[in-house]
Amino acid sequence: MSELSQDKKRSQVAPPKLIFESGSPGRSAVDWPSEVSDVGELIPASLLRDDIPGFPELGELEAVRHFTCISQRNFAIESQFYPLGSCTMKYNPKINEAVARLAGFAEIHPLAPTKLLQGALALLYDLEKMLAEISGMESVSLQPSAGAQGELTGLMLIRAYLGERGNPRQKIIVPDTAHGTNPASSTLCGYDVIQISSNARGVIDVAAVEKVMGDDVAAVMITNPNTLGLFETNIEAIAATVHQKGGMVYLDGANLNALMGIAKPGHMGVDVLHMNLHKTFSTPHGGGGPGAGPVAVKAQLRDYLPVPRIVQNGEQFQLQEDCPKSVGRVRSYLGNFGVLVRAYTYILSLGGDGLEAASRMALLNANYIRKRLAKAYQIAYDQPCMHECIFTDRVQHKNGVSTLDIAKRLLDYGYHPPTIYFPLVVSGALMIEPTETETPETLDGFIDAMLAIAQEAKDDPEMVKSAPHSTPVGRLDEARAARKPVLRWEPGSSGGDS
Ligand SMILES: *Cc1c(COP(=O)(O)O)cnc(C)c1O
C-alpha cells in the first residue's frame, strides 16, 4: 500500500493541467534577434496569422515539463506489469530495436530495384521459412499488417481455392470461444457466420461441428488456444470432419505464444493460419501501433498467396508478380518491414530452444496465477490453462462488486487491468495473460494486489466500487467518451468536462 499512498501524493502535487491552462500572455520559448522589430521581416506575410485564439504561451521549461509529465502518465510494459489477456504484452528486447534501426534496414527505399534490396529480401525470405517451421506449414506471406488482416487474407485464399473448384460456398463455422475478429473477417469476406457453442469444458466437440458442417460451409475458424486459454483438444478430429465434407480449417494463431516449440498447428490438420508477430514475436504494440499478421498455408493454397512472392533464383532474390491464381496484393510494398525485422531478430536471438522456453514459461506463469488466485476468485473453467487464465466476479458480486470495479481498483495498485468482459461466453470475465517475461516477484505483487482487492470487496465494497482513487481522472462515462469524444480544445472550454 505504500505504493498507493505515493501515487496519491503525486497526483496531489501535480494535478494535470491542459497546456492551454498553463503559461501567461507574452511568454515564449523563442527569442527573435534583437534587431528584428517585426516578425513579418522573417516570415512571409502570407504565412502569418493575425491571431490564434487560445494559443498557449509558455516558456521552454514549462513546455518541456508539460510534455514530460504527460509522457509519465503513459502506461507501458517498460514501467508496469501489463497482464492484458489476448494481447500478449510481453517485454520486447532492445536488440530488436537496435537491429530494426540499422541504416541498411531503416533507410532503404521500398521502391529501390531488387538488386539493391538483396539483404532485405534475404531477411524476409528467411523469416518466411522460420515462421513456416514454427507453425508446421509450407508457405508464408508476410504482407498482412495485423491479425485481422491476416484472417481476411486467409479467408480470401480459401474463397479463391474453393471458387476455382467450382463453388466458394457461403458459410464459415465460428465457435463462441473464437476471437471477435473471426466473425468480422468472415463477414468482410462475404461469408455468413454459423456460431457453435463450446462444451462444459470450454472446448469444441466434434459433434457440434458435424451438426452444422455441410457442403455450403467453406471453413471452420478455430482459435487455438481458444480465448478461454484452453487448448482445443479435438482439433484433429474436427479437421477430419471438415475436410471430409470438402471444407477447410482456418486456425487463428494469434496465441502462438502458448505453442512455440511445443505443438505445430500444421500437424493438427490446419490448412491456413495467421500469426501475430506484434504479439508472440515481440514488437511493441498497443494503442494501434504497426503490426504484422503473416498467413501460413499448406501446399494446396500456396498459389493463391498475395503477390509479389519473394523467390530465390540461384544467389539472387527476386520479386515474382506473375502468379495467375494469386488473390493479389493485400497491402503496399512487402509488409510492415520494421516489424518483420524485429520478429526475425527475436527468433534468431532466442533460437528454437529459446522460443520453446518462452512458451513454457508463459504457460507456467499463467498457471501460477491461476492456482494462487483460485482461493479468492472463481475460475471460469477449472483445469490447467495455456498462456492465460480466466476468472469471473461471481464471488465478489455477492457484495455488489463487479469485474469493472476490480479492474478500476487495480489501477490504484499500479497494475494495468486484465482484459475484462471477454470472452463473452464467461459472465464477468477477467482474462489474465502474464506472458513469460515477468519475474516471480512481479507475479506475486500482482497476485497480492488481486487478493487485497478481493478482501476489500468483502470488508469495504464501496472502496472498490468507487475506484480508481489515485489516477488523474476517475471513472469516465465510457459510452459518452466513445460517442462524443472531445478531441479539440475550444477557447473558453474548461477541458475538465471530458
Ligand atoms: C489479437 C488477436 C487477433 C487480432 O489481431 P490484430 O492484430 O489486433 O488485428 C485475432 N485473434 C486473436 C486470438 C487475437 O488474440
- Closest approach atom of ligand 1 to CA 293: 7
- Closest approach atom of ligand 1 to CA 149: 9
CA–chain centroid gap for 328, Å, is 26
| Substitution site in 153, 181, 280 for ligand 1 pocket (most atoms within 8 Å of beta carbon) | 181
Ramachandran assignment for 481, one of left (phi > 0), alpha (psi -120 to 50 degrees), beta (any other): alpha
Distance (Å, whole) CA 158 – CA 493: 53
* Mean predicted confidence (pLDDT) in 144-152: 97
Range of the domain at 293: 94-349
Domain at 133, CATH number:
3.40.640.10
* Ligand 1 center from residue 471 Cα (angstroms): 29
Q: Domain total for the chain? A: 1
Q: Atom 5 (ligand 1): residue with closest C-alpha? A: 147
- Closest approach atom of ligand 1 to CA 178: 13
* Mean predicted confidence (pLDDT) in 88-101: 96
* Mean predicted confidence (pLDDT) in 5-9: 46
pLDDT in tens, 169-206: 999 999 999 999 999 999 999 999 999 999 999 999 99
Q: What angle do CA 27, 28, 33 make, to 5 degrees?
A: 120
* Ligand 1 center from residue 394 Cα (angstroms): 27
Instruction: Kindly state if the Cβ of 417 falls inside 6 Å of ligand 1.
Output: no
- Please tell me the predicted confidence (pLDDT) of residue 498: 35
Distance (Å, whole) CA 292 – CA 131: 12
Range in 41-55, 138-152, 210-224, 236-250 with the lowest mean pLDDT: 41-55
204 close to 174: Cβ distance less than 8 angstroms: no
- What's the order of all strands across the beta sheet hosting 248-253? 139-141, 295-297, 272-275, 248-253, 217-223, 171-175, 192-196
Q: Is residue 389 part of a domain?
A: no
498 contacts: CB under 8 Å, gap ≥ 6: 481, 485, 486
- Please tell me the predicted confidence (pLDDT) of residue 491: 62
Instruction: Kindly state if the Cβ of 291 falls inside 6 Å of ligand 1.
Output: yes
Q: Is residue 363 part of a domain?
A: no
Residue 2 or 164, more confident: 164
pLDDT in tens, 49-76: 888 888 899 999 999 999 998 888 888 8
pLDDT in tens, 200-211: 999 999 999 999
Instruction: Kindly state if the Cβ of 86 falls inside 6 Å of ligand 1.
Output: yes
pLDDT in tens, 224-240: 999 999 999 999 999 99
Distance (Å, whole) CA 216 – CA 169: 5
Q: What is the value of pTM for the model shown?
A: 0.89
Q: Is residue 32 part of a domain?
A: no
Q: Is residue 270 part of a domain?
A: yes
* Ligand 1 center from residue 368 Cα (angstroms): 24
- Please tell me the predicted confidence (pLDDT) of residue 9: 41
Q: Quote the mean pLDDT of the chain.
A: 92
Q: Is residue 211 part of a domain?
A: yes
Q: Is residue 85 part of a domain?
A: no
* Mean predicted confidence (pLDDT) in 342-363: 98
Which has the closest alpha carbon to 403: 380, 434, 382, 381? 380
Instruction: Kindly state if the Cβ of 293 falls inside 6 Å of ligand 1.
Output: yes
**Measured between alpha carbons, how far is residue 416 from residues 69, 328, 342, 402 in Å?**
19, 40, 25, 17
Q: Does 242 have pLDDT greater than 80? A: yes
Which has the closest alpha carbon to 159: 184, 192, 189? 189
Q: Does 308 have pLDDT greater than 50? A: yes
pLDDT level of residue 473 (50, 70, 90 thresholds): confident
Residue located via cell numbers 500469426:
275
- Closest approach atom of ligand 1 to CA 86: 15
Q: Is residue 217 part of a domain?
A: yes
* Ligand 1 center from residue 82 Cα (angstroms): 17
Q: Does 39 have pLDDT greater than 80? A: no
Residue 34 or 263, more confident: 263
Instruction: Kindly state if the Cβ of 251 falls inside 6 Å of ligand 1.
Output: no
| Substitution site in 142, 153, 174, 179 for ligand 1 pocket (most atoms within 8 Å of beta carbon) | 179
* Ligand 1 center from residue 330 Cα (angstroms): 17
Q: Does 348 have pLDDT greater than 50? A: yes
pLDDT level of residue 389 (50, 70, 90 thresholds): very high
Q: Is residue 294 part of a domain?
A: yes
